[in-house]
Chains A and B, each alone.
Chain A
Amino acid sequence: MARVRTADGVFYALLALTAATFIGEIFFVFLRTPIEARMGIVQKIFYFHVPSAYAMYLGATACFLGSTAYLVRPTDARDAFARAGAETAVVFGAIVLTTGPLWGAKAWGTFWTWDPRLTTALLSLLIYVAYVVLRSFAGDGSAERAGSAALGVLGAANLPIIHFSVQKWGGQHPTVITGKGGGLQDPNMKLALAVGFLAFTLLAILLVWARTRVELARSRLRRAEEDAIDLGLDPRTEA
């Protein structure tokens, strides 16, 4: 019981810290960072587009770790963690592929090109959408869980490809972070990006945690319902 209370305390502390960091991020992005010389104000999308991509990697990594652990030794907690990671990857991947094209409309004059990084990021998003759809519609049996775990492991193989696609295959996508594009020129730009990374990391941890808790509660409830049915009590028919 004391352990649960401690976990709740840490969760709420993390929630408060995340909220404070986001307020700081909004302050830096909209009030402190200068407007970029060539692109104008639309460059400010960068400060939450890049951290969102990073949060997508975090979700995908959680899915990979949970899936690998589940395949080694299946437990409800490992499956819940993998599922939470996949959903986090979908949400942040959707943010990346929404905010990026909005920036591209101004910077490139088009919302979408089949650039290597854009294409591999879209592929990754579709893999995690497939995972979520599989878990939502194919039931929650051990075979479905194992199949999803295999997809979670295979899906992670695309992550380094997304990251190195710009260096290997070129394309239009900027390489500001990796240094080849000259980096961020103003200290406030660097600070805004650093706060953005912190805010989105905390948010991703928070969301994976919250989603894992709900999924774990569902699994325990399902087992309790099955036990009740075995004892001749059926909550579904008597409800």
Chain B
Amino acid sequence: MKEVQVAPGAASSTSGGRETTFQAVQGGQEHYSGEILLVTAYAALWALLLLWVALIWRKQGDVNTRLVDLERVIDKAAAEKQAASAQKGAGR
């Protein structure tokens, strides 16, 4: 993502792939690729929006589950009430 201008002679400061010295970069600046930054920003935008939509979807799913539970309990109570009244009617 970023390219750093390396001071001349910096390569000679490595030994077997390990840094052996730290040297100040002469006039060095960090450069970032505009294309990568733009794509990252655009991807972050949609990722955050889609994450939030997914959370709303999950909350809606939770509401549906609780609603199904409530309906089942009400149906069960209604069936019990109906059975009780039918039993009462048969007993008369």
Contact = CB atoms under 8 A, between A and B. Distances in A.
Interface of A: 39-42, 44-45, 48-49, 52, 87, 91, 94-95, 98-99, 102-103, 105-106, 109, 203, 207, 210-211, 214, 217-218, 221, 224-225, 228, 231, 233-236, 238-239
Interface string B70-84: 101110110000000
B48 A94 contact: yes
Given A45-B38, A98-B41, A102-B37, A235 B73 contact: yes
Interface in B28-62: 29-30, 32, 34-35, 37-38, 40-42, 44-45, 48-49, 52-53, 56, 59-60, 62
A106 B37 contact: yes
A41 B34 contact: yes
Contacts of A41: 34-35, 38
Nearest to A48: B45
Contacts of B49: 91, 95, 203
Contacts, number: 92
A91 B52 contact: yes
Interface in B1-47: 29-30, 32, 34-35, 37-38, 40-42, 44-45
Contact of A234 (B35, B60, B73): B73
B92 interface: no
A221 B70 CA distance: 9
A207 B85 CA distance: 49
Contacts of A224: 70
Nearest to B29: A109
B74 A233 contact: yes
Nearest to A111: B32
Contacts of B66: 221, 225, 235
Interface residues of B, number: 30
Contact of B34 (A39, A52, A233, A239): A39
A39 to B, nearest CB: 7
A225 B37 contact: no
B1 to A, nearest CB: 9
A221 B56 contact: no
Contacts of A109: 29-30
Which residue, B29, B62, B66, B76, has most C-beta atoms of chain A within 10 A?
A: B66
B41 to A, nearest CB: 4
Contacts of B70: 221, 224-225, 228, 235
Given A52-B45, A221-B70, A224-B70, A238 B76 contact: yes
B72 to A, nearest CB: 8
Contact of A207 (B52, B59, B62): B52
B19 to A, nearest CB: 24
A225 B69 CA distance: 10
A106 B49 CA distance: 24
A238 B52 contact: no
Which residue, B30, B37, B72, has most C-beta atoms of chain A within 10 A?
A: B37
Given A109-B30, A224-B70, A233 B77 contact: yes
